[in-house]
Structure 1
Amino acid sequence: MEFKTERLTIRPFTSNDLHDVFTIYNNDDTCKYLLHDKWTIENMHEEFNKKLKNRELTKETSLSLAVVNNTEVIGDLSVWYTSMKDTVEIGYSFSNDSSGRGFATEAVSSLVKTLFDTFTVHRIQANLDARNKASQKLCERIGMRKEAHFIQDFWNKNEWTDSIVYGMLHSDLDLRN
C-alpha cells in the first residue's frame, strides 16, 4: 500500500529507511509517551525489522508505513485491527525536526481517509497517554472525537498513567468535507 499527499509519500518501510527511523526513535522526547523506550544501537535492527515485516493490514497482521518528505523518512504510521468488528487503532510518531510544519496532520488525515475508503473500516480509534498534548491536538485537528479519559488505568515505564481514547466513524469524516 502506497499513497501520496500534497507533500508526502506514505509507503511500507524499506531496508534503506533504518537510519531515518533510528533518528525518530533514538529520542527521549519522542518515546516519552510510547510503550517502548528509545531505540539504542544494540536494539535498532531488531526493532526496525518488526516494522519491515508489517507490510499488510489483515486481521492477523499490523501495518507500518513510512512517511517520506522528499527522500527522508520523517514519520511512522501504524495500524492494526482491534478485537471489535471492523475497528482499527492507529499510532504515529514523527521526528522532532519535522514538527510544526503540518506533516503529521497531513499524513494521519490521509491515512484515516485511506482506511475508511480502501479497507471500509467502521471505526478508527487512537489510545494515547493523557500527558501527550501534541497527540491530542493532532487527533482533534483531523476530526477525531475525545471519547474517554481513564484515570491511572495503564502501567507503563514503572508508573500508572491516564489514557485517553479518541474515535472516529466514516460519517465524522463526511462532516468535515
Structure 2
Amino acid sequence: MHPAPIKAASGLPDLTQIDALTERLDAISRRYAEHFGFDRSDSWYLLKLQEELGELTQAALKMQGQARTRGQSATDLRTTFENEFADVLGQLLLLGRHHQIDVAGAMQRKWLKWADRHERHGSFRLETERLIVRSFKLGDVDALHAYRNDPAIARYQGWSLPYSRTNAAQLVADMFELHEPLRGQWNQFAVERKDAPGLIGDVAVNLDAEGDTAEIGFTFAREHHGLGYAREAVRALLGELFGALDLRRVVAIIDERNVPALNLLEALGWRREAHFRGSYPREDGQWADELQYALLRSEYLEQL
C-alpha cells in the first residue's frame, strides 16, 4: 500500500522532496561536467535531454518486443527501461532548475488545476426565479458557437468572426466543470432557463489575482434579448461575488454603442466612472469608445 502524498497548506502536493532531489542531481551533474571539462550551456541541457529520451524510446521498444533485444532477459529489459526513465527524469529536472522553473506553480497551472476541480463536490450553480447559472457542459458547444458567430453579438465583444467551432469547443473544455471562479483569469459560466434546458448565454468574471476586486462581462444569444435574462443572471453573479466571495468592488467595461448593456448596469445601480476614448477596435476598422462602470459592495448592499 502506497502512502498518500503529503499536501501543503495551499492544497498542492508537497514538492520539497523534488526540490531536494534536484539539488542532489545538480551536484552530481556539476561534478561530472567539471571532471570531463564541458560547459553545461542552454544547448547542453536540451541536447542531453533529447539524447536520454532517445535511449528511453529504444529501451521501451525492446521491452515491448519491437526492437532487437540481443538475448537480454525480460528482467534486464525492464531494468534498462527504468534506468533510462530515471535519466530522462533527472535531466528534465536539471533543465527546469537551470531555467529557474517553479515546478509546483507549473504543475498547478498545467495539471493539478484539473484535479482541484474534480476533487471538489458539486459544480458551480446559482439559481434565480427563471434561470440557472452553472458550469459549462460539453453539450453547450453548438449553442456557444452559434451566438458567438452572430455579427450583432460579436460587434461589441473581443473575438473575431468567423468564430470557429474549435474555439468554442476549447472554451467549453477550459471552463468544463469549473466549480468556482479562479483568480487571475477569466472564468465563464453558462446560463440556461429552468423551463427549457440549453445554453442561452454566459456570464464571465475575472477575479483580481490577489485583491478584492473583479471585472465582469455577459453575452446572450440575440433571441433571448429584451426578456430580462441578462439582468437576472448578472444580479445572481453579483450576489455570489459580494456574498460568498466577499469582494469589495466590481467593474465592467462596455462599448459605448452597446446601449442595452449600459442600461442594464445602470438599472442595477452601477456608476459610470470612466470614459476611454478610442480604446476598442471596431469591426469597421475604426476605434470605439468604452465606458467603465463600477459597483461597490456597500452600494450593492444598500439596494437589498
- 1:57 aligns with 181
Correspondent of 1:15 among 138, 142, 154? 138
Q: Aligned to 1:121, what secondary structure does the other structure show?
A: coil
In structure 2, the partner of 1:119 is 245
Shift of 1:101: 0.9
Aligned residues: 177
Of Structure 1 and Structure 2, which has the larger fraction of its residues in strand?
A: 1
Equivalent residue in structure 1 for 2:157, among 29, 34, 38: 34
3-state secondary structure, aligned to 1:140: helix
Match of 1:66 among 190, 197, 200: 190
Q: Hey, what's the Cα distance between the residues in 1 that align with 2:184 and 2:208?
A: 10
Q: Distance in 2 between matches of 1:41 and 1:14?
A: 15
Q: Distance in 1 between matches of 2:170 and 2:228?
A: 30
Task: Please give the residue correspondences for 1:42-53 in structure 2 after superposition, counting only pairs within 5 Å.
Answer: 43-52=167-176
Q: Percent identity?
A: 28
Choose which of 208, 211, 224 in structure 2 pairs with 1:85.
211
Specify the SS of the correspondent of 2:176.
Answer: helix
Q: In the aligned structure 1, how far is the partner of 2:227 from the partner of 2:159?
A: 26
Measured after TM superposition, the shift of residue 148 of structure 1 is: 1.1
1-structure distance, mates of 2:133, 2:276: 32
CA distance in structure 1 between the partners assigned to 2:182 and 2:243 by the alignment? 15
1:160 corresponds to: 287
Alignment pair present for 1:104 and 2:227 = no
Q: Which residue of 2 aligns with 1:24?
A: 147
- Runs of 4 or more above 6 Å deviation: none
Higher relative contact order (CA 8 A, sep 6+): 1
Deviations 1:120-175 (A, max 9, x none): 11100001111111110111111111111121133455432211000001111122
1:94 matched to 2:94: no
CA RMSD of aligned residues (A): 2.0
Q: Structure 2, unaligned stretches of length 5 or more?
A: 1-123
- TM-score, normalization by structure 2: 0.54
Q: Based on CA coordinates, which of the two structures has the bigger radius of gyration?
A: 2
SS of corresponding position for 1:124: strand
User: Aligned partners of 1:61 and 1:170: how far apart in 2?
Assistant: 21
Q: Distance in 1 between matches of 2:276 and 2:172?
A: 31
Distance in 2 (CA, whole Å) between partners of 1:19 and 1:29 is: 18
Q: 1:31 to 1:9 in 2, by over 3 A?
A: same
SS in 2 for 1:33: coil
Q: Is the 8 A contact 1:54 1:62 kept in 2?
A: no
